[in-house]
Amino acid sequence: MEQRDLPWIMKNSAGTQIERRDEPYFDAALRDELEADLMPKYPNRRAATLPVLHAVQNKVGYLPYQAIEEIAAFLETTPAEVLDTASFYDQYMTEPQGKYTLWVCHSLSCELMGQPDLLGRIQKKLGVGPGETTDDGKFTLRTAECLGSCGTAPCALVNDVLHETIDTDTFLRSLDDLN
Ligand code: FES
């Protein structure tokens, strides 16, 4: 069946070529740290999938397919299962990200308080849309569901830093100050 016959996008996952490097992403130091500090808190290895994904993503910056395989071996499960989990949640990225990821909340309170203008002007300034990274690798733009700060909408995260009651002009200027 051809793509034009389907209402969804088909990916030939079985034919994906995995880029590999000799050095593991999930190295011995991280392995030892997780074995000592994290794994004892979980009833079985698979139960630790989410925090292990976080730990590797924090170290590498994203989750390359090779790292997914390494995580699966560590958790004694399959790469498919780890990838299923990673691809289900927005916060896990299997592609390289910009140095700064902008998460613009697009849930109701933020939308009512000016999110469309905020997002539109960020897109215009950076020249990228949601899910894209600027050519210089500095910014990745993403949208997010409610960031849990509806009372101070509109909100956005710049990496892990929450910006509240955003004034669009001030926010855009603050991006120029990021090195
Ligand atoms: S709707 Fe944006 S923080 Fe809740």
| pLDDT tens figures, 42-71 | 999 999 999 999 999 999 989 999 999 999
Name the residue among 168, 67, 58, 160 with its Cα closest to residue 120.
168
Length of the chain as a residue count: 179
Residue 99 pLDDT more than 80? yes
Residue 80 pLDDT more than 90? yes
| pLDDT tens figures, 147-174 | 999 999 999 999 989 999 999 999 999 9
Question: CB of 105 closer than 6 A to ligand 1?
Answer: yes
Name the residue among 79, 19, 18, 94 with its Cα closest to residue 49.
79
Ligand 1 pocket test target in 109, 112, 142 with most atoms within 8 Å of CB: 109
3-state secondary structure the chain: CCHHHCCCCCCCHHHCCCCCCCCCCCCHHHHHHHHHHCHHHCCCCHHHHHHHHHHHHHHHCCCCHHHHHHHHHHHCCCHHHHHHHHHHCCCCCCCCCCCEEEEEECCHHHHHCCHHHHHHHHHHHHCCCCCCECCCCCEEEEEECCCCCHHHCCCEEECCEEECCCCHHHHHHHHHCCC
| pLDDT tens figures, 1-14 | 566 677 777 777 77
Question: CB of 110 closer than 6 A to ligand 1?
Answer: yes
Question: CB of 149 closer than 6 A to ligand 1?
Answer: yes
Percent of the chain past pLDDT 70, that is, above it, reads 97
Name the residue among 137, 124, 130, 125 with its Cα closest to residue 175.
125
Average pLDDT over residues 99-111: 96
Q: How many CB atoms lie within 10 A of CB 144?
A: 19
Tell me if the pTM is above 0.85.
no
What is the pLDDT, as a whole number, of residue 4? 66
Rg of the chain in Å (alpha carbons): 19
Q: Which domains does the chain have, with CATH numbers?
A: 3-88 (1.10.10.1590), 100-176 (3.40.30.10)
Confidence of residue 77 (pLDDT cuts 50, 70, 90): very high
